[in-house]
Amino acid sequence: MLNIDLQYDWAAFHANYQVSIEPGVTTLLGGSGEGKSTLLHLIGGFITGQGILTYKGESLLSLPAYERPISTLFQSDNLFPQLTVWQNVAIGLSSSLKLNHEQTARVQWAIEKTQLVDKVMRFPHALSGGQAQRVAIARALVRNKPILLLDEPFSALDPGLREEMLYLVKDMTGELGLTTLLVSHLPQEAMLSGGKVLLIEKGQVTAHESVAVLSQTEVHPLFAGYFGRAHRTTMLPE
């Protein structure tokens, strides 16, 4: 269980998150600027908040980002153009690319899981958008951390590929028992990913429900404000 009771102040924005997150995929929904990324950055250790952050009873707050049991995948995560697919994954384990036997096996495992076996010698310029994103996922997986933070990593992909990536994240999360937090602008992404949904409004967690609430005919009262906005600002399925 990931327990969060964290406060953070930007110059003109107060965030105060209280939630306990269980293993599985949890999608963070909310309007633009409501505080989704701030929560992920606090958990990841990229900004330092006040309060409590524990995973399996151990406090993470005093740990620097690189020592937290966390892998991240953000939209801006680029591949290294001068490295092959294999090297782009391996660099998640060792910046010198010198791997021991166990690490080599782990890279092979991640490459297989993300179905990149026949692409290992390619360079990023010769990959499709979906293949490149699979390499980024493989690099996150290879680190073997129990918490995975994803901040809209697939928003640049077309809907078909985005769906494929979400299924991959869902499958990996289940198979490896990960606690995965996915920031999204799209309720349908939460539905595809399964698990739970968090609604973030004005820097707070205002709903923590099963994604099933999103497919009910009647809009769940806690999501009424969000869907009012979402209908005006984002594309929802027909």
Q: Two tokens at 115?
A: 């179905």
Query: Cβ 177 to ligand ATP, closest distance in Å?
Result: 27
Q: Which residue has the tokens 């429900």?
A: 209
Ranges within 36-65 binding ligand ATP (CB under 6 A): 36-38
The helix or strand, by DSSP H or E, that contains position 3, with its residue range, turns out to be: strand 2-10
Query: Cβ 28 to ligand ATP, closest distance in Å?
Result: 8
Q: Two tokens at 104?
A: 């080599």
The one-letter code for the residue type at 70 is: I
Residues contacting ligand ATP: total by CB under 6 A: 12
Query: Cβ 203 to ligand ATP, closest distance in Å?
Result: 7
With CB under 6 A as the contact rule, the residue among 1, 9, 13, 155 that binds ligand ATP is 13
Q: Two tokens at 26?
A: 């949890």
What is the C-alpha to C-alpha distance for residues 32 and 190, in angstroms, rounded to an integer? 16
Ranges within 175-214 binding ligand ATP (CB under 6 A): none
71 Cβ contact partners less than 8 Å away, ≥ 6 residues apart: 92, 140, 141, 143, 145, 147, 148, 149
Instruction: Give the count of beta carbons closer than 10 Å to the beta carbon of residue 18.
Output: 14
Annotate 82-103 with DSSP letters as a single string: TS-HHHHHHTTT-TT----HHH
Query: Cβ 144 to ligand ATP, closest distance in Å?
Result: 27
Of residues 10 and 80, the one with the C-beta less far from ligand ATP: 10
49 Cβ contact partners less than 8 Å away, ≥ 6 residues apart: 6, 7, 8, 15, 42, 61
- Give the binding range for ligand ATP (CB under 6 A) out of 6-14, 60-68, 101-109, 121-129: 6-14
Ranges within 18-37 binding ligand ATP (CB under 6 A): 30, 32-37
134 binds ligand ATP (CB under 6 A): no
Query: Cβ 212 to ligand ATP, closest distance in Å?
Result: 23
With CB under 6 A as the contact rule, the residue among 9, 10, 22, 236 that binds ligand ATP is 10
Query: Cβ 183 to ligand ATP, closest distance in Å?
Result: 6
Q: What residues make contact with ligand ATP under the rule CB under 6 A?
A: 10-13, 30, 32-38
